[in-house]
Amino acid sequence: MEKVSMRTPLVEMDGDEMTRILWGLVKEKLILPFVDLKTEYYDLGIQNRDKTLDNVTVEAARAILQHGVGVKCATITATAARKKEYALENMLPSPNATIRAVLDGAIFRKPINVSRVKPAIPSWKRPIVIGRHAYGDVYKNTEMSITAPGKVELVFTGHDGTERRSLVADMKSSGVVQGIHNYDDSIRGFARSCFIYALDEGLPVLFAAKDTISQTYDARFRDIFRNVYETEYKNKFAQKNIDYHYALIDDAVARAVKSEGGFLWACKNYDGDVMSDMIASAAGSLAMMTSALVSPEGRYEYEAAHGTVQRHYYRYLQGEKPSTNPTALIFAWAGALEKRAVLDGIAPLEEFAKRLRSVSLQTIESGRMTGDLAASAGCIPLDSWEFIDEIARGLRSSAK
Ligand code: NAP
Ligand code: MG
């Protein structure tokens, strides 16, 4: 069998624990036999991040800026307990936050639908993708506890000394106050990332906020989205027969629940945090959810939405063969290979990426699946090795 060739390398970011084991297995069984794989490899395993003072993460993120597409394994975010467990010298920041800081943009979480896993909302036929703004609002807030009566004001002092004030509250008794902000550039970048992703996936876009109440702050988000759409994307959307709408957030929630799915829901930072967990659990399983970071300049990073599946890893270390679901990891590879193929114009690579996805889904649809799905589908679970072997068999028999 002739292997599919590549031109530009993928930025490959290895990770930790059970997902690191699966990462190697997926490459060995599902990719290397079929693709003459070109990657630029970065080991983001926690020990190497520690040893390099996290430089490896920054270098990987810069490599994505340079090459355009990356694929990432799940990684441990350091905590005091992890520092002790892995005898780390440093308290490292979250790799995803570091990569996001370099690339900017937004995170898109998309459920992987299979007919054997029923969503909690029966009307959902197609995935609802959540696009979450990754900067500002309550995640960069300033808060104050008020203990005595007094005036709370917002004060802006320009670099030229000019001052603007507005009253937040004339506090009659103790309470709390909060100041939040965002930047036009960040909102614009978020809007662009959403429109780029939606065009790629052929999905209509819904952006929702509360502009009736927040007539300056949320209204700015609404206006920037509208402006970016009208000036940069409207024609491209029309060619793909998709569109963009703004809605009030409460209206959007009601609509989403009654919908058939099949749209990109762009959310402000907090709404996206809440809604992505709601969509993830309503869609079925954390192991059936992919995550993509898309920068406003059109750089892409693909990963699984779940973590390193620590509990399964400890069982693996005891000699067990856990039934950890590799589907989201496989989809991350398929997404990255497909994007690379499209950017480089390599049709056989695009065909392989699509086949990798469809064979994985067919394997599950045919009743061969891991434990997280098997119970609700009434099937006998396979361990990760058996499941991946089944997909490899499907790939070999479907090869031209
Ligand atoms: P997790 O790895 O997502 O796993 C939580 C639980 O969800 C698992 O114990 C398992 O449940 C189930 N699960 C998740 N993925 C699964 C899969 N592929 N197949 C089957 N079951 C799956 O979250 P965590 O245990 O809270 O976090 C572990 C580590 O991951 C932490 O160090 C955290 O920092 C890191 N993390 C990394 C990322 C990332 O890199 N993007 C994201 C989140 C967390 P059962 O045990 O009940 O089977
Ligand atoms: Mg959350």
Domain extents in the chain: 1-103+300-400, 118-140+181-283, 142-179
Q: Is the CB of 372 under 6 A from ligand 1?
A: yes
State residue 154's pLDDT score.
96
Q: Give every CB contact of residue 388 below 8 A, 6+ residues apart in sequence.
A: 22, 25, 26, 29, 30, 326
Q: Is the CB of 308 under 6 A from ligand 1?
A: yes
Local structure of 81: helix, strand or coil:
helix
Of the bound ligands, which one is closest to the alpha carbon of residue 381? 1
What Rg value do the Cα atoms of the chain yield, rounded? 23
φ/ψ of residue 102, rounded to 5: -80, -45
* Cα atoms found within 13 Å of the Cα of residue 79, Cβ hemisphere only: 4
State residue 260's pLDDT score.
94
State the residue for tokens 């399964």.
312
Q: Residue 250: how many CB atoms within 10 A of its CB?
A: 11
State residue 136's pLDDT score.
87
The tokens for 376 are: 């609700």
Q: What CA–CA distance (Å, rounded) separates 111 from 328?
A: 9
Q: What CA–CA distance (Å, rounded) separates 217 from 194?
A: 19
Closest residue to atom 41 of ligand 1, CA basis: 74
**pTM, 2 dp:** 0.89
Residue of 213, 209, 304, 218 lying closest to 266 (CA atoms):
209
Closest residue to atom 38 of ligand 1, CA basis: 307
Q: Which atom of ligand 1 is nearest to the CA of 312?
A: 46
Q: Is the CB of 375 under 6 A from ligand 1?
A: no
State residue 400's pLDDT score.
67
Residue of 8, 1, 19, 101 lying closest to 346 (CA atoms):
8
Q: Which atom of ligand 1 is nearest to the CA of 74?
A: 40
Residue 225 CA to ligand 2 centre (angstroms): 24
Could you tell me the fold of the domain covering 118-140+181-283?
Answer: Isopropylmalate Dehydrogenase (3.40.718)
State residue 329's pLDDT score.
98
Domain 1-103+300-400 top-level CATH class: alpha beta
Same fold flag, 1-103+300-400 and 118-140+181-283: yes
Of the bound ligands, which one is closest to the alpha carbon of residue 369? 1
Q: Profile the chain (400 residues) by mean pLDDT over runs of 10 residues.
A: 94 98 98 98 97 97 97 95 94 88 87 84 90 88 94 96 96 96 95 95 96 97 98 97 97 93 95 87 82 90 94 97 97 97 97 98 95 88 98 92
Q: Which of 108, 308, 369 to mutate to test the pocket of ligand 1 (most atoms within 8 A of CB)?
A: 308
Residue 175 CA to ligand 1 centre (angstroms): 38
State residue 299's pLDDT score.
94
Of the bound ligands, which one is closest to the alpha carbon of residue 383? 1
Per DSSP bridges, beta strands 69-72 and 175-179 are unpaired
